[in-house]
Amino acid sequence: MTSPTNVPQNLIRPDKDMFLGEENPFESMMSRFDFAAQKLSLDPGLYKVLRSPEKQIIVSVPFLRDSGEVEVYTGYRVLYNTSRGPAKGGIRFDLNVTLDEVKALAAWMTWKCAVVNIPFGGAKGGVVCDPSQLSNAELERITRRYTATIIEVLGPDSDVPAPDVNTNERVMAWIMDTYSMHKRHTVTAVVTGKPVSMGGSLGRREATGRGCMIVTREALKRLRLPIQGTRVAVQGFGNVGSVAAQLMEQQGMKIVAVSDKSGAVYNPDGLKLRDVMQHSRQHRLLSEYRDAEHITNAELLTIDCDVLVPAALENVITSQNAARIKARIICEGANGPTTAGADRILEENGVFVIPDILANAGGVTVSYFEWVQNRAGYFWDEPTVNQRLERIMVESFAEVAGMSGRFGLNMRIGAYMQAIERVAAVHRLRGMYA
């Protein structure tokens, strides 16, 4: 680093104030950023640049209902930082989408891409709507209008969306088609998370859960704990949680609890995971599963286990329940499951937290692989995808552990320091266009 000076104290939350903003995702995330920037002695000017999103776009999304009525929804797209490459981040359709939420998630994506050292910046987008109240035809019209409205920022070299809450492969296909029609030729690399038949990558669906398994395995090795028989509780049994549980079981770990929105099932001797997964596919809700004890989602977080995988919602581990957590390792499968206020309590209690920007980065890593394959016009088999994902996740875990060890800090701050330094280094090299 080149002659850094201390970040101005009026811009930094002191450590004691890291409990503030516990329910605000942007402020909770940025409190970690502030602390990491202070530890790096980041130049004050560069600090200001990295704390500010590059573009915040708010658009109206008018569309025609099946009834012939015209509706107008609000859409957002935030490009947080593109110094290392095209912006990368999902698009969600949800009534709770806000600019603050989108901005926080775009910043998260910036640090997540940097911590695994892939050449993307961070972005996020969303439309304020309730997809459950819309027909497929209405969803398609909303998607295409939203895409056309933000099309000036989209592109393989500028901004590459992906699926997120309430969006999927089909929505990505509509975005790709809309963009391609405007460009007058097929552009597969404009989105990731597409159907495999349209240029999607093998292994993408399992990638986030696979990444969680890999870093959990590496954490157990680092702490000299046995992999065989390690007791794992997974909150959230969607794509990430179910895949992580299945792959961890294959490694020899014992899955003692899993949950969905209806509640959790628990067996201290280990669940029959295959039966639980079959039940979930057939009946959807775990509350109807009978061959295990039923507990609440909140109770799952504090059961006696070795590894806890929060893979559902934000802000589930807070200063109110952190002291009761018995797990030795927390692997954050979801974005922002642990508030800033909970971090200190967990650290004081010796809990080893694998932070979200590392733990769940397997998804964006394989999205990067998809983008690379699209641009090359050459596709890899699934073992190749998984092998390359394994290498990146193992190397990234070791780099973050090395950073946290050198500074005597926890893995979360180590991950932020690693990411911030990588983004900052590119800014220093590129200079400032004035």
pLDDT for position 25? 64
CATH number of the domain encompassing residue 74: 3.40.50.10860
CATH of the domain at 226: 3.40.50.720
pLDDT of residue 23: 62
Query: What was the pLDDT predicted at 2?
Result: 38
The string of pLDDT tens digits covering residues 9-28 is 433 333 434 444 466 667 77
The three-state DSSP-derived secondary structure of the chain is CCCCCCCCHHHCCCHHHHHCCCCCHHHHHHHHHHHHHHHCCCCHHHHHHHCCCCEEEEEEEEEECCCCCEEEEEEEEEEEECCCCCEEEEEEECCCCCHHHHHHHHHHHHHHHHHCCCCCEEEEEEECCCHHHCCHHHHHHHHHHHHHHCCCCCECCCEEEEECCCCCHHHHHHHHHHHHHHHCCCCHHHCCCCCHHHCCCCCCCCHHHHHHHHHHHHHHHHCCCCCCCCEEEEECCCHHHHHHHHHHHHCCCEEEEEEECCEEEECCCCCCHHHHHHHHHHHCCHHHCCCCEEECHHHHHCCCCCEEEECCCCCCECCCCHHHCCCCEEECCCCCCECHHHHHHHHHCCCEEECHHHHCCHHHHHHHHHHHHHHHCCCCCHHHHHHHHHHHHHHHHHHHHHHHHHHCCCHHHHHHHHHHHHHHHHHHHHCCCC
What is residue 288's predicted lDDT score, i.e. its pLDDT? Answer: 84
Picking from 174, 195, 216, the residue at the C-terminal end of a domain is 195
Q: What is the pLDDT of residue 15?
A: 41
| pLDDT surpasses 70 at 273 | yes
**Are residues 220 and 144 part of one domain?**
no
Tell me whether residue 183 is one of the annotated catalytic residues: no
What is the predicted pLDDT for the residue at 12?
37
Same domain (yes/no): 124, 264: no
Q: pLDDT value at position 10?
A: 36
Predicted confidence at residue 433, as pLDDT, reads: 84
Q: Quick check: is 338 in a domain?
A: yes
Give the range of the structural domain holding residue 77, as residue numbers without chain letter.
55-195
Q: What is the pLDDT of residues 100-133, one digit of tens each?
A: 889 989 999 999 999 999 999 999 999 999 999 9
List pLDDT tens digits, range 282-333. Answer: 887 898 888 889 999 999 999 999 999 999 988 899 999 999 999 999 999 9
pLDDT value of position 178: 98
Q: Is residue 353 part of a domain?
A: yes
Summarize pLDDT for 166-205 with one digit per residue, the tens.
Answer: 999 999 999 999 999 999 999 999 999 999 999 999 999 9
pLDDT digits over 37-69, tens only?
999 999 999 999 999 999 999 999 999 999 999
pLDDT at residue 24, as a whole number? 67
User: Do 99 and 124 lie in a common domain?
Assistant: yes
Options 39, 124, 194, 254, the catalytic residue: 124
**Same domain for 74 and 217?**
no
73-83 pLDDT per residue, tens? 999 999 999 99
Mean pLDDT of the chain: 92
**234 in the same domain as 345:** yes
Same domain, 211 and 169: no
Split at pLDDT 50, 70, 90, the class of 6 is very low
pLDDT on residue 220: 98
pLDDT given for residue 61 in this prediction:
98
**Do residues 183 and 232 both lie within one domain?**
no
* pLDDT for position 17: 41
